[in-house]
Amino acid sequence: MVDKDLLSIQEARALVRAARSAQPVLQEAGQESVDALVEAIAKAGAEKAEELAIMASEETGFGKWKDKKQKNIQATVRLVEYYKGMKTLGIIRDDLEKKIVEIATPMGVIAGLLPSTNPTSTTLYNAIIALMSGNAIVFSPHPGAVKCITAAVNLVKGVLKAQGLPEELVGVISVPTIEGTAELMKLTDMIIATGGAAMVKAAYSSGTPALGVGPGNVPAFIERSADVDVAVKKILSSKTFDNGTVCASEQSIVTEACIADRVKKSLVAQGAYFLTGDALEAMKRVMERPNGAMNPAVVGRSPADLAKIAGIKIPAGTTILVAEEEGIGPKFPFSKEKLTSLLGFYTVNDWQEACEICFKLLKNGGLGHSMGIHSNNETVIREFALKKPVSRFLVNTPTTQGAVGITTHLPPSFTLGCGTVGGSATSENVGPQHLFNIRRMAYGLDAPCAKPAAGGEGTLDVEAVTSLIMDQLKKMSAVR
């Protein structure tokens, strides 16, 4: 009988070894080749976006394939368009006045830890930003999404081969185990951990530099000056997107008593159903495991699926299930992150009380992530933005689409940093700029700049400097 743990560890070692051997080839290929590569991956990803989306939905049972298709496109075409022209290899900045040259150097081999909620989009996204920065990447897939993640990796491998680059630049563990993932994290140069708190904690405890992104418990405040119907429409378009599997999706609506009835009426008119009495208690019983963790059986499910699981009846065509929650904390399941078609609902007296409730909701499992507000009162908007411990404060936009850069100008990303308040090393939407080191070549204030180039006195011979740097990097890779 084969020991899965040992097999996984051996596979992780072999994949990292192969990736480390292949990585210098990409680094030496240069910026132009890397740009052509990621554009080709984006094109191939867009062509297979629907196929991968259907695979992900069928394998995991989570979400809607049509929305997953949109996420795949966001993770490829829109991502590459956003960063088009960005320098990620060699000299990226040449400051003649201060006599400083900045040189981007790849980190080496990245470990990508992947979730089951957004499997193919996160795979494609992380592969592109790693390769764009001259790195190789090896993935540890969620056990419930191995097939679709492997398909996404194979797509990238096919593009690498067509571009004349080693397929080993991208790899995936076929037998994922905790032990294999631990070995992968230990052997690589940087970790991108996208998933639950336990995964992120393991990444930061591995001894390898890591970019971990935590859970979101996103409150959405509808303030009295908002257009209620528009606000509700945006919240529902966000929460129903892929059945709420994006960590930036709204988890609770907070609104003022003076407009609460209008908000409820608008929710119902747009397909929401308020759970009460026995139906609410039945849903609470199936939402969580005995230890308080979310029940995987309800993740990414439609309202009809949830009703069936809970054994309750809901109106046909229901778009979301809502419950008026009495408090915040472990005993109140609707106050937690719910990556499914469930929303909590809170009524407050004024925006000051809303500010306190939103803070408590964030503290209950979403610190550092995201928050939404729907308001036309700029003073209130600014007060919230200044005080809320989030990395993305999203104004009058769906938080799901806004956080990942679909309805905002935020960088396209499926790896959303939560800052130190959320236990993350960055508060940004993770991109290629987070996956290379910068070497700064600084000339003495009283020293000549460099060998004068044809352009005249006081300019750097960039071609000569680049050639020298690339020679040094080759030698360093050989030693490594």
pLDDT at position 463: 58
End-to-end CA, the chain: 37
What residues pair up with 436 in beta bridges, in sequence order? 106
Residue 477 confidence class, pLDDT cut points 50, 70, 90? low
Q: Which of 314, 365, 357, 316 is nearest to 339 (CA)?
A: 365
Q: Residue 231 pLDDT more than 50?
A: yes
Q: Cβ neighbours of residue 468 under 8 Å, at least 6 residues apart?
A: none
pLDDT tens digit sequence for 340-372: 999 999 999 999 999 999 999 999 999 999 999
Residue 141 confidence class, pLDDT cut points 50, 70, 90? very high
What residues pair up with 101 in beta bridges, in sequence order? 94, 441
DSSP state of 77: I
pLDDT at position 454: 47
Which residue spans of the chain are classified as CATH 3.40.309.10?
218-405
pLDDT tens digit sequence for 253-294: 999 999 999 999 999 999 999 999 999 999 999 999 988 889
Are the beta carbons of 368 and 418 closer than 8 angstroms? yes
Are the beta carbons of 408 and 397 closer than 8 angstroms? yes
pTM of the model: 0.89
pLDDT at position 459: 47
Chain length of the chain: 480
Angstrom distance (rounded) from CA 213 to CA 115: 11
pLDDT at position 2: 65
Catalytic residue among 148, 247, 355, 358: 247
pLDDT tens digit sequence for 172-191: 999 999 999 999 999 999 99
Options 1.10.150.110, 3.40.605.10, 3.30.420.40, 2.60.40.10; CATH for 4-214+430-434 is 3.40.605.10
Which residue spans of the chain are classified as CATH 3.40.605.10?
4-214+430-434
pLDDT at position 57: 96
Name the architecture of domain 218-405: 3-Layer(aba) Sandwich (3.40)
Angstrom distance (rounded) from CA 144 to CA 193: 16
Give yes or no: 247 in active site: yes
pLDDT tens digit sequence for 79-127: 999 999 999 999 999 998 899 999 999 999 999 999 999 999 999 999 9
Angstrom distance (rounded) from CA 414 to CA 405: 9
pLDDT at position 199: 82
